[in-house]
Structure formats: C-alpha cells, structure tokens
Amino acid sequence: MSDRTILIVGGSSGIGLALAEDLVAGGDRVIVTSRSAATAERVAAELGEGASGVAVDISEPETIADALAGVGRVDGLVLGAIERDANTIREYDIERARRLIILKLVGYTEVVHTLLDRLEPSVDTGIVLFGGRAKDAPYPGSTTVSTINGGIDGIMNTLALELAPIRVNSLHPGIIGDSPFWAAKPAGVLDGYESRTPGGKLATVVDVVDATKFLLFNRGVSAHSLFVDRGWRIT
C-alpha cells in the first residue's frame, strides 16, 4: 500500500465512488465523504482496507472546518460533490440557486482553505475540481449549473496561482451515461445526447476516473481545464 492519501468530497456515489474503488485497488488510501456519517462509514467499509469515511455538508461552509478536523495529511484532493438542480429563469427559485452556488463555489473553496495546513506544498500534490460541460452547453433550466461550472475554472486559476507548487486542475464531464444519475433515467433519454457526439457514444465513468487520476498525479499539469465528453464541442 502507498502512503498517499486522496480525499474525495462526494466519494459516496457515482464518479467519486468509482474513483475511490480504483485508487484503493491501486494501493492508495482514500477518504470518502457523504453528508451522512452512516453512509460515509458504510461506503468506506465496503471499499475495504485503506478507506475511511467522513461526514461533511459543503452547502454549509461554516461547518466544513469542524467536519474535516479529524483529517490528516492529504496528498490529493478531489472535489466532486453536487446536488442536482433545474431552475428556469421564468420560474427562478432564489433559495435553490443560492444553495447550489454556495455548495460549489464557496463550499469547494472552503474545503481547500480548511485543508491548507494538511496539503504538502509540493508539485506532487494535486487538486481536481469538478465542473461539467453545461458551462458552455446550456439546457433550459441550467443557468445555475452553467454558472457554477464556469465558476470552477475561475477558482482553478486563482488556486493554481496562489497555492503553487500545488497543482490545481478542473475536469468537465459531458453526460456520463453509465453514471448512476443518468443510468437511472428511462430508456431513450440519452439518445439525443449520444447523437451529438462525433462517434455517437458518450464518455463513461471509467473515462472520467482515468482523467481525474491524470490531473491529480501528472506533475506537469496545472491550471488546466479538461473536457471528458467524447468531443461533444465539435458537433
């Protein structure tokens, strides 16, 4: 087992969980988070030796420091937590917008701020911030989602500058059809998205896990905003 510890905020399901499974299989230690302590502990137990769980709700940034007080040295930090939201301009809900903006833009930033004394100031230390392709490919109701995903690149740039030699990158998945959120949708829902990729197929969870590890561990990459969307942009 390596002595590297990767903290995955949003590691209890979906892409974050798949990343945790991959890292544990490769010998790394992982800390996965959930809003629920019971879920964090259950997921960590299922991941096996080398995994532990922590409860944190990043939509309440003032609670983050206390929630992460027990976390020790962190060699890699992945911020992937999300609460899904659709909020059209015609029926704009201020409270839902405020909650999601705080979760991603303030919550992610406060996690990094909280952990500064536990992140080694080294080029070997990587931080990956998750946005999404809705930042440039909107859909009705995506104003808040598009805003926060775009904001992730702003945070990435300032953190990469302020925290160097620590490397900070962002990852923007397209629709990931085999992630639990999309896999649970009725048959046919993904057809329109698939037809808009150059090869007619969507990127997968495995693709995103692989890209996350690249951004986390490649010592030459910082302040890079990476799309994992099978080339959606060119269609």
Choice from 50, 80, 126, 151 touching ligand NAP (CB under 6 A): 80
Task: Please state the closest distance from residue 165 (CB atom) to ligand NAP, in A.
Answer: 26
Which has the closest alpha carbon to 174: 140, 144, 156, 198? 198
Choice from 16, 61, 76, 126 touching ligand NAP (CB under 6 A): 16
DSSP annotation string for 56-117: --TTSGGGHHHHTTT---BSEEEE---------STT--HHHHHHHHIIIIIIHHHHHHHHGG
Region class of 8: left (phi > 0), else alpha (psi between -120 and 50), else beta: beta
- Whole-number Å distance between alpha carbons of 37 and 6: 18
User: Scanning residues 110 to 139, which ones bind ligand NAP (CB under 6 A)?
Assistant: 130, 132
Nearest to ligand NAP of 10, 126 (CB atom): 10
With contacts defined by CB under 6 A, name the span among 8-16, 63-71, 85-93, 162-170 that binds ligand NAP: 8-16
Query: Cα 141–147–149 angle (5° rounding)?
Result: 105
> From residue 142 to residue 181, what is the string marking binding to ligand NAP with x (rule CB under 6 A)?
-------------------------------x-xx--xxx
Choice from 5, 12, 142, 197 touching ligand NAP (CB under 6 A): 12
Residue 35, interface with ligand NAP (CB under 6 A)? yes
Choice from 4, 23, 50, 59 touching ligand NAP (CB under 6 A): 59
Residue 39, interface with ligand NAP (CB under 6 A)? yes
The token duo for 146 is: 């598009």
Q: Is 166 helix (H, G, I), strand (E, B) or coil?
A: coil
Residue 81, interface with ligand NAP (CB under 6 A)? yes
Rounded to a whole number, what is the largest CA-CA distance in the chain? 53
Choice from 4, 5, 21, 34 touching ligand NAP (CB under 6 A): 34
Residue 103, interface with ligand NAP (CB under 6 A)? yes
> Which parts of this chain interact with ligand NAP (CB under 6 A)?
10-16, 33-36, 39, 56-59, 80-83, 103, 130, 132, 173, 175-176, 179-182
